């Protein structure tokens, strides 16, 4: 049974001759605005009113984020920054369900990029010198740059120091350990080139 809030929205929409699609939009507005308010309160930086939320977004600490217009954040996306870390998303960027983005330096994504479910993007790694426990070593941080019109498939991992060029495609579950040229299609562990968009077997 729908609550009183839905009945009020439905009644107002009917009186104003709002189409059914508009009724659903109006009914979802309080939830979306609540998520927007919570994210703005939890973060430093810029979260535009045009940001879309498919579900709750988790923030660790008080992350510094800057989102462009019309970004879309899936359910249970996690955003974390520390030290001087910054997460910068261009306009019309989609982070799908379960993505984890961690920046101790800078993680930047260009406009119109799609990042699939459960992708992990971290600009920091543990020290790995011999003769000492890994958990007692310091971290190594290198910024990550992801270009415009990039598609990163479900479950991929992007490691510190990587630059992914405009228009590149990263296959599902790939581990990106080195730079990817613009327009390249890569897959595998570690990610290797399968060709370019527009070539036979490509786009």
Give domain limits for the chain: 1-42, 46-196
Peptide bond into 190 cis (omega under 30): yes
Q: Give the model confidence (pLDDT) of 25-68 as tens digits.
A: 445 567 878 889 999 999 999 999 999 999 999 998 889 999 99
Closest CA to 37 of 19, 17, 57: 57
- Other beta carbons within 10 angstroms of residue 136's beta carbon come to 8
The residues annotated with a catalytic role in the active site are 126
Structure token digits, residue 77: 């996306």
What does the longest C-alpha to C-alpha distance in the chain come to? Answer: 74
- For residue 14, give both structure tokens: 């009917």
Asked whether residue 5 carries a pLDDT value surpassing 70, the answer given is: no
| Averaged confidence pLDDT in the chain | 87
The CATH number of 46-196 is: 2.160.10.10
Mean pLDDT over 195-202 rounds to 74
Contacts 24+ apart (CB under 8 A), 169-178: 169/197, 172/116
Question: How confident is residue 127, by pLDDT bands cut at 50, 70 and 90?
Answer: confident
């Amino acid at each position: 049974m729908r609550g009183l809030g839905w009945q009020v929205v439905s009644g107002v929409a009917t009186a104003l001759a709002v189409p059914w699609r508009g009724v659903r939009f109006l009914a979802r507005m309080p939830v979306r605005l609540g998520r927007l308010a919570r994210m703005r309160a939890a973060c430093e930086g810029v979260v535009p009113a045009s940001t879309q939320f498919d579900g709750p977004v988790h923030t660790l600490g008080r992350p510094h984020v800057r989102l462009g217009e019309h970004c879309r954040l899936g359910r249970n996306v996690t955003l974390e920054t520390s030290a001087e870390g910054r997460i910068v998303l261009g306009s019309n960027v989609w982070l799908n369900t379960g993505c984890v983005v961690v920046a101790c330096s800078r993680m930047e994504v260009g406009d119109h990029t799609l990042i699939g479910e459960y992708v992990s993007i971290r600009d920091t790694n543990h020290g790995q010198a011999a003769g000492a426990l890994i958990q007692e070593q310091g971290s190594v941080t290198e910024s990550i740059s992801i270009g415009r019109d990039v598609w990163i498939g479900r479950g991929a991992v992007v490691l510190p120091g990587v630059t992914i060029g405009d228009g590149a495609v990263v296959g599902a579950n790939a581990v990106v350990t080195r730079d990817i040229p613009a327009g390249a299609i890569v897959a595998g562990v570690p990610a290797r080139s399968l060709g370019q968009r527009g070539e036979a077997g490509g786009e």
